[in-house]
Structure 1
């Protein structure tokens, strides 16, 4: 599947999350459950029962327990509209997207969240290598620190998209994806409620009320949960207990959310102390445009982009910090229509950490917004390796003499600790 073709299907990004729509009110929203027509509900119920039976057999969970948990499950017709791709006439608009997320309300809330959790953010930064500003930016863009976590029951969302996805070219793949997430939800809730896997038909220690509450918790319209908007599979694989209370609560525990975001980014390849992205030089837009293909792959050496004038060595201490000249990057194009409706674009060079953010939410718009939100909070988008410790490297024919590993060893030998912003 071509990445660019589904660029704006952002809300279904299932690496970790799905950003919820902006709501004006901070008042908790009522859970929305609209029943579908009887024929659709009948097909839905049959397919759901089949999946519950499969999970019961595979994990040896009593079928009756699963059926009780889904007795009141319903399809949500509005969900199918929300996940439809934009019409052919729709024009992607980076400027509008950026304005939506990098704005005073979120930034003010971000600074307050940082102040409230400064010590723990510093701890997670040291453990994961992910800057506090990046973690704060992600949670701010996702939910404004818990203000917008969604107003749909998660079991209804995932079962609707698993068994009643709208007619689109990728319907089979999307339905299978949400079937997988629905199974992950069941297993997540089972273990959260004290059950063991496989259950071996023994529910001793299980708290049925907690199991049902987990299935009924609110989520976004794509099934993402809590402050960081993790999908069930991401909760099971990457969420951690940050506050040490013995359970993971991404809805009420900021420490759990912070630690989980840091762990997700670390496990997906975040390079500590490395930059995220840089704007393309104005006089090299044409050269950058030729290299922008929309594919999320690191293809071009930093040294090559410097030679083409797309980057400057001074950006982020390139070639004088921890970024190797032969390390790879990609060209990111962020389109928007100008005031006359003519297609334009801003161009950036994305490094490895840019694609790590893309793993959180598969959108270039999203990744660049996180980077700029973090910079607005004070993030220094550059290598933290002191230039004084690095020998000048040539523009061409560079080797790995300044690799991050060797620089780290060199740095340790001097007993100097660079500032991490």
Structure 2
């Protein structure tokens, strides 16, 4: 079993959570266009239903449905019917709690879980099969194919592991039973209520069944593990078949990941990071680490604090951040992160995650036949 700090950093919810989940993040808003009136949701689901205690017996859940119907002009009975069939997942709230005894972070151990033969081989096959789509996404959005391949490999091994929880159960559990012991319980519960609202609204306007989608225990869905607000805002019909399907269409997943990064400010042609060697004082290092992964320092100020950059890094046109990757009891690793490195952390706010995405994509690219 992976250390809890590692498991928490993999949680797709943080990737698509309110940007306030990271102290340096910028706020974003989610919108969607009106859709046709909803059809009645089915009362049957062919897959086994996990969990206990349906939320139909909860006054707070039904009040939520009533309020949502009024605010968004949705069908109240359909919302109540759908939410009444959501079930509490007893084991999920505890997965949100920080570990009582944190394990020391270890970049090399973390990296080995993702930059490894199974994912590299699957990524190679995926890239070869969808080369034209990846090239089109790169041309359309400016996001390198290697970054898209890295994301889909880290998240779901290219659709092999998309989650088995009913999304409505996961979101309802975290919206109404988020653990009070969490240090940011109020903020996180509000976030999951917002995601449940997006999820129910989307399905009613689309006329689709909210009881069917399966995903992570935090409600992330499809090959790219989008949360509902990200699906609404960034998912695109990249295969041109008239619908968006992030579960079964690799083309839609590729285009949607690229659109997500473009939406968060990806800069075409800009590297994600540069090598760096530290030769400043302990105070200089502390000052460089203070803004965390938010690019804050010009090349001149970065260098003045002892951050010795490569030749390419010295020509960087924008701001930089000192990214520290701890290696357990060994010396940490450091890179100088650019604005594009920061954009990757909008998918998941862990710098370890961002580096794993980058290095998996690079490994797959290197495995491609020349």
If the length of structure 1 is used for normalisation, what is the TM-score? Answer: 0.73
Q: CA deviation at 1:187?
A: 1.3
Match for residue 175 of structure 1 among 189, 214, 217 = 189
Q: Which residue number corresponds to residue 85 of structure 2?
A: 72
Unaligned runs of at least 5 residues, structure 1:
1-5, 19-29, 194-210, 380-421
Match for residue 353 of structure 1 among 340, 344, 347 = 340
**Structure with higher RCO (Cα < 8 A, 6+ apart):** 2
Moved more, 83-92 or 54-63: 83-92
1:310 pairs with 2:301: no
Q: In 2, are the aligned partners of 1:139 and 1:227 still within 8 Å (CA)?
A: yes
CA distance 1:42–1:265, shift in 2 (3 Å): closer
- 1:208-230 superposed Cα distances (whole Å, 9 cap, x missing partner): xxx22x33310101110000000
Q: Which residue number corresponds to residue 289 of structure 2?
A: 292
State the distance in 2 between where 1:68 and 1:118 align.
43
Map 1:50-199 to 2 at 5 A.
50-167=63-180, 168-193=182-207
1:232 pairs with 2:255: no
Map 1:319-334 to 2 at 5 A.
319=315, 323-324=316-317, 327-334=318-325
Q: Which residue number corresponds to residue 373 of structure 1?
A: 360
3-state SS of paired residue (2:217): coil
Unaligned runs of at least 5 residues, structure 2:
19-46
Map 1:255-270 to 2 at 5 A.
255-270=251-266
- 1:306-343 superposed Cα distances (whole Å, 9 cap, x missing partner): 45553434246x42xxx32xx211011112313xxxx6
Q: In 2, are the aligned partners of 1:7 and 1:363 still within 8 Å (CA)?
A: no
CA distance 1:172–1:310, shift in 2 (3 Å): same
3-state SS of paired residue (1:77): coil
Q: CA deviation at 1:294?
A: 5.7
CA distance 1:281–1:56, shift in 2 (3 Å): same
3-state SS of paired residue (1:215): coil
RMSD: 2.5
- 1:117-147 superposed Cα distances (whole Å, 9 cap, x missing partner): 0011101101100000100100110000001
Q: In 2, are the aligned partners of 1:14 and 1:231 still within 8 Å (CA)?
A: no
State the distance in 1 between where 2:344 and 2:224 align.
13
CA distance 1:95–1:31, shift in 2 (3 Å): farther
Q: Which residue number corresponds to residue 34 of structure 1?
A: 51
Q: Which residue number corresponds to residue 241 of structure 1?
A: 237
1:220 pairs with 2:216: yes
CA distance 1:129–1:47, shift in 2 (3 Å): same
CA distance 1:31–1:275, shift in 2 (3 Å): farther
Q: CA deviation at 1:369?
A: 1.1
3-state SS of paired residue (2:332): strand
Match for residue 363 of structure 1 among 350, 358, 361 = 350
State the distance in 1 between where 2:281 and 2:206 align.
51
State the distance in 1 between where 2:176 and 2:76 align.
19
Moved more, 366-375 or 258-267: 366-375
Q: Which residue number corresponds to residue 327 of structure 2?
A: 336
- 1:229-251 superposed Cα distances (whole Å, 9 cap, x missing partner): 00000000111001111111000
State the distance in 1 between where 2:57 and 2:125 align.
44
State the distance in 2 between where 1:239 and 1:358 align.
18
Q: In 1, are the aligned partners of 2:152 and 2:158 still within 8 Å (CA)?
A: yes
State the distance in 2 between where 1:12 and 1:177 align.
13
Q: CA deviation at 1:62?
A: 2.0
State the distance in 1 between where 2:107 and 2:194 align.
32
Greater Rg by CA: 1
Q: In 2, are the aligned partners of 1:12 and 1:83 still within 8 Å (CA)?
A: no
Moved more, 327-336 or 237-246: 327-336
State the distance in 2 between where 1:295 and 1:170 align.
19
State the distance in 1 between where 2:64 and 2:82 align.
13
